[in-house]
Structure 1
């Protein structure tokens, strides 16, 4: 039995599932994936068996010494993994960079509703520009400003927000897919960051598996 089991939803559109999954894959943290299909009559009952909130993702940890643990909410999962795998660079080492990374990750966790709902994650949707409403455009600009600030201050050592891949990149990975799908012609620095995230083997793996899902396309919400 695997020490870690990550419960996730459909890869085509479950943005919250993608975040810890891509972090664990990229950082080579071994885990078993357990799939719960979303948006079916059985979804609620199936999620209730594994998730205290009835939502995914959920991380189940069965340490070899005993004392099973269940962690839910994406940021909580990433923080838990950072505690266990302090050598993987889940957060930046520099305290200033780490403070900024946690701030922008939390901002993503709680914000950008108009972008998330105006541009729902759908990895099978043909690419094409879709205009957001006025508030959505403000939020889109804020996201690009975040990426630009992180890259300018701390990103010189690599292609990601803080140089190497961190939890902040995991939190913005689904937004990267939205910019790629709906954003049309992007600013050069935005395009460079989007391309860097999409080029990750873990992201390519997720996309390939999403393409194999046989179920109907997702609705407008997450």
Structure 2
């Protein structure tokens, strides 16, 4: 049994869980996954049992008798403990740029989050979106194009090599995919790179096997 446990929510729906999980998976850290289905009467109690020192939210990390429960803090822990990759760029300026992008993703784009929740079971045709949602998407595309223009020579991800910036945009890729949002050539190329990340593929494959499907009013049906 691992001394490190990551408590996550449903893989179909939990965007913040996806970020924490990808950070640990790509870092090479060995951990035990504890999945607590959300939006149930028992979810709160189950989360407290899974990680008593953390608030009842996902993701949270339990390391023996210690707890980390903010997604960015979990990702920073993964970057510091990584054994297989560097999850932050090594160059000082590039790392600061990547941190700026992650911080913006961490705190912004509320219209997109509210209007298009992450849902790996959904795929609909593109239709006109509210203006504030479109503005969020345009800003995201601006970030993607700017990073790819500056760092394309270093690799296919936002800052060349895989970093926490890419991990933070993984749920955004799901949102764009679920609503068939059209992408220009640069953004499509980056989307394809992120979508093909093996760990991201593993998460999506596991999500397809989940039996819980959220319907109206956050009520579950079971497949």
- C-alpha offsets along residues 73-107 of structure 1, whole Å, 9 cap, x if unaligned? 11111112222237621110011111111111011
Residue 65 of structure 1 corresponds to which residue in structure 2? Answer: none
C-alpha change, 1:76 and 1:41, in structure 2 (3 Å) is: same
1:119 lines up with 2:116 in the alignment? yes
2 CA distance for matches of 1:23 and 1:218?
29
Match of 1:58 among 20, 44, 60: 60
Residue 18 of structure 2: aligned partner: 18
Distance of aligned partners of 1:159 and 1:194 in 2 relative to their CA distance in 1, 3 Å threshold = same
CA distance in structure 2 between the aligned counterparts of 1:183 and 1:111, rounded to whole angstroms: 22
Shift of 1:26: 2.5
Cα deviation, 1:192-221, whole Å, max 9, x if unaligned, reads 111111111111111111111111235688
> Residue 6 of structure 1 contacts residue 60 of structure 1 at CA under 8 Å; is this kept in 2?
yes
1:127 CA drift (Å): 3.8
| CA separation of 1:208 and 1:87: change in aligned 2, threshold 3 A | closer
Q: Could you list the runs of 5+ residues in structure 1 that have no partner in the other structure?
A: 63-67
Q: Show the counterpart of 1:42.
A: 42
Residues 118-151 of structure 1, C-alpha deviation per residue, up to 9 Å, x if partnerless? 1111111124214321111111100111111112
1: CA distance, partners of 2:33 / 2:141: 32
Distance 1:171 1:219 in 2: 27
User: Over the residues paired in the alignment, what is the CA RMSD in angstroms?
Assistant: 1.8
Give the secondary structure class of the aligned counterpart of 1:216.
strand
